[in-house]
Amino acid sequence: MPKITLDRDMFKALASETRLNILKTLDGKYLGLNEISSKINLNKATLHEHLSKLHEAGLVKRNVREGHKWVYYKLTWKGESLLHPENTRIVVMFSITFFALFLGIINLAKYIKTNLNLVRGSELIFNPKFNQIEDNVLLIGKSTTSISDNYFFRIITIICFSIFIILMLLSIWRYNKNRASKL
């Protein structure tokens, strides 16, 4: 379980049931004071006071655009973490997923490079400049190491792409499962 450090201001902000309802209402939404007030059935002045305390605690973010009189509120990263602590795991899983994809692409490039070297090495037989025996020795020496490297890169590439696909599907499944409000 990811750890969330709570300071005194956050404890004070979370001590009220009304503020917890405000956090649930703002979960995944970007709402103005009127919209929050109508959903919670609370006076706007009282709601403004509660939102100020949540903002001071760092749980709610205000968005004031110049030239507009409306203020919109949404949860900060800390507020989201309180409602959905498992999202940190999902971010780590996505990171590992893309790292596996990156490794798979690198190994695929190495696999293609070794295949090109094998093709170039086989062209040496048909080159009339060199002696036939030396070409076969060079080709055999090159091809045995290239074939083993080729097999290694192919296996690693398949493993990396398999890990990428499995972790991506698992991450998307966990993300969709955790989108629902938990509080």
**CATH code of the domain covering residue 40:** 1.10.10.10
The number of distinct structural domains making up the chain is 2
pTM above 0.75, yes or no: no
pLDDT in tens, 50-81: 888 888 888 888 888 777 778 888 888 788 87
Indicate whether 150 belongs to any domain.
yes
Indicate whether 110 belongs to any domain.
yes
Residue ending a domain, choose from 48, 68, 83:
83
Strand-pairing partners, residue 60, are 75
Say if residue 67 is in the same domain as residue 105.
no
Say if residue 102 is in the same domain as residue 46.
no
Say if residue 16 is in the same domain as residue 72.
yes
Mean pLDDT, all residues of the chain: 75
pLDDT in tens, 85-103: 777 777 788 888 888 888 8
Indicate whether 159 belongs to any domain.
yes
Q: With a cut of 60, say whether residue 1 has pLDDT above it.
A: no
Q: With a cut of 60, say whether residue 127 has pLDDT above it.
A: no
Cα–Cα distances in angstroms (integers) from residue 92 to residues 95, 170, 175, in the given order = 5, 12, 12
Q: With a cut of 70, say whether residue 106 has pLDDT above it.
A: yes
Mean pLDDT comparison of 71-75, 122-126, 139-143, highest-scoring range: 71-75
**Lowest-confidence pick of 43-52, 100-109, 129-138:** 129-138
The predicted pLDDT at position 119 comes to: 57
Say if residue 76 is in the same domain as residue 91.
no
Q: With a cut of 80, say whether residue 27 has pLDDT above it.
A: yes
Residue ending a domain, choose from 61, 83, 105:
83
Indicate whether 152 belongs to any domain.
yes
**How far is residue 122's CA from residue 82's CA, in Å, rounded to a whole number?**
62
Say if residue 54 is in the same domain as residue 112.
no
Q: With a cut of 80, say whether residue 166 has pLDDT above it.
A: yes
**How far is residue 159's CA from residue 149's CA, in Å, rounded to a whole number?**
15
**What residues make up the domain containing 169?**
87-177
Confidence of residue 44 (pLDDT cuts 50, 70, 90): confident
Confidence of residue 137 (pLDDT cuts 50, 70, 90): very low
Residue ending a domain, choose from 31, 48, 83:
83
The predicted pLDDT at position 72 comes to: 87
Say if residue 68 is in the same domain as residue 132.
no
**How far is residue 44's CA from residue 22's CA, in Å, rounded to a whole number?**
12
